[in-house]
Amino acid sequence: MRFADYAKIYVTAGNGGSGMAHFRREKFVSKGGPDGGDGGKGGDVVLKGNVQLNTLLDLRYRKYIKAKHGEHGGSSRKTGKDGVPEILEVPLGTIAYDADTKERIGEITEDGQKLVIAKGGRGGLGNWHFKSATNQTPQHAQVGEEGEERSVEIELKLIADVGLVGFPNAGKSTLLAAMSEAKPKIADYPFTTLEPNLGVVTSSDYRSFVMADIPGIIEDAHEGKGLGLRFLRHIERNSLLLFMVACTADIAGEYNSLLHELKAYRPDLLDKPRLLAITKLDLKPGFRLDTPVEIDDDIEMVEISSATGHNMETLKEKIWEKLQRIEKEESL
C-alpha cells in the first residue's frame, strides 16, 4: 500500500445564489407585492473521517477542489437550491491547517466526523424581505456572498497500536514484513523506508493489532534533520512504542539516543508504554548476545531475529499483553 501523509490543496467553496427582485403578477392581481425568493447557500468543502482509509494519496492528485454554487432565488418566494458540498474522505488522524497563516482549522479523529475547511457563501435575500411601510415596491435584492477560497495543508498523524522506533537499518521494515502481510521496501542501506508503512499483525486465535513502520530517526531529528519532524509526528498517535536496536550496535547507547530525540521533540512521548526489541540475533553465534545489556530503565527486552523467526511469537505475545493493559487502563 503506497502511503502519503501530506497534501496541499486549493479549495474554493460555492458562491451563494442571488436573491430575486420580482413582483407578484397574476390574473386579477395587477399590482401584487414583492415575492422574489432567496438564493441558495453555496456548497462547503468538507473533510470527512473514514476509518477504512490510512493514506492521503488521493488528495495528492486533486490539487484544485471546488464546491457547487447555490442557485438563484425564484418567484413566489421560492428559495434556490443549496450548492452541493464537496466532501473529501480522509483517514482518522488527519489535521488541516491554513497554508498561509498556519492556523489550525481542525482535526478528524472519528469515523464519519465532518470538518468544514471552506465555507460556502450565504444566499442573497429576495426583494420581499425589504418591503416596508415606506417602501411597498422594493426594486432590489441581495447578491449572494462569494464562497471561501484558501490553500489548505493536510497532514496525517498515523493512528496505530504499535509504532516502530529505531535508527536506519535497525530492521523495522523486516520485522513488519515478517509479522504482517505488508510489503515494505527492504535493503541493506540506510533510509530504505522514506514513507510510513502500515501492517495488521494477526495471530492464530484471530487477535490483531496495527503496526506502523515509520522512517528511521537520525540524531537531531527533533530539529528537522533528515526526515525529522515528518517522522516524529507519527509517534504521537501510537499506543505502544517498540524500540528497535540491532544486536551489532551499542544497544544501550542507541536506545538512550532514541529516548533523547523523543524527549527533545515532545517530553510526554516518554510517558507512553514501550518495549525494546534487540534485532538481527541471527548474526550472533547461537543467537546469544556477547554480554548482557545494561540499561538504566526498567524496559522489557526481547531478543529476536525477523529473518529466522527467532522469538517472534514471544514478541507478539508481549505486545498483545501490553496493548490489553493499555486498553484496560484507558477504560477506567
Q: Are residues 2 and 134 in the same domain?
A: yes
Residue 110's pLDDT is: 93
Residue 123's pLDDT is: 97
Which domain-ending residue is among 104, 138, 156?
156
Q: Are residues 167 and 311 in the same domain?
A: yes
Q: Are residues 48 and 18 in the same domain?
A: yes
The low-confidence residues of the chain, meaning pLDDT below 70, are: 1-3, 29-30, 181-196, 204, 215-231, 332
Pairing of strands 6-12, 149-156: antiparallel
Mark out the alpha helices in 133-227 (DSSP H runs): 172-179
Question: Looking at the whole model, is its pTM more than 0.75?
Answer: no
How far apart CA 51 and CA 57 sit, in angstroms, is 15
Residue 166's pLDDT is: 85
Q: Are residues 168 and 221 in the same domain?
A: yes
Q: Are residues 25 and 85 in the same domain?
A: yes
Residue 225's pLDDT is: 43
For residue 302, give the amino acid letter: V
Copy the grid coordinates of residue 190. Answer: 540506510
Residue 196's pLDDT is: 65
Residue 162: which of 326, 331, 330 has the closest Cα? 326
HSE, side-chain direction, 13 A CA sphere, residue 310: 17
Copy the grid coordinates of residue 282. Answer: 541471527
Structural domain containing residue 94:
1-156
Mark residue 227 as left, alpha or beta (left: phi above 0; alpha: psi -120 to 50; beta: remaining): alpha
Position of cell 493536510?
154
How far apart CA 286 and CA 204 sit, in angstroms, is 28
Q: Cβ-count burial of 54 within 10 angstroms (0-12 exposed, 13-18 middle, 19+ buried)?
A: buried
3-state secondary structure at position 258: helix
Cβ partners under 8 Å of residue 281, min gap 6: 247, 287, 288, 289, 303, 304, 305, 310, 311
How far apart CA 123 and CA 73 sit, in angstroms, is 8
pLDDT tens digits, 73-103: 999 999 999 999 999 999 988 999 999 999 9
Residue 217's pLDDT is: 66
Q: Are residues 325 and 199 in the same domain?
A: yes
Any idea what the CATH number is for the domain that residue 100 is in? 2.70.210.12
Quote the DSSP letter at residue 232. H
Any idea what the CATH number is for the domain that residue 284 is in? 3.40.50.300
3-state secondary structure at position 242: strand
Q: Are residues 323 and 281 in the same domain?
A: yes
pLDDT tens digits, 180-193: 865 544 444 444 44
What is the count of structural domains for the chain?
2
Residue 173's pLDDT is: 80
Q: Find out whether 34 and 128 touch, Cβ atoms under 8 Å.
A: yes
Position of cell 436573491?
19
For residue 176, give the amino acid letter: L
Q: Are residues 140 and 251 in the same domain?
A: no
Distances (CA, A) of 308 to 24, 179, 248, 279: 85, 12, 17, 11
Q: Are residues 150 and 169 in the same domain?
A: no
Residue 244: which of 291, 153, 157, 178 has the closest Cα? 178
Position of cell 407578484?
24
How far apart CA 214 and CA 4 sit, in angstroms, is 12
Q: Are residues 316 and 179 in the same domain?
A: yes
How far apart CA 189 and CA 269 sit, in angstroms, is 28
Q: Are residues 180 and 305 in the same domain?
A: yes
Which domain-ending residue is among 135, 156, 177?
156
Which domain-ending residue is among 156, 187, 202?
156
How far apart CA 120 and CA 83 sit, in angstroms, is 8
Q: Are residues 171 and 299 in the same domain?
A: yes
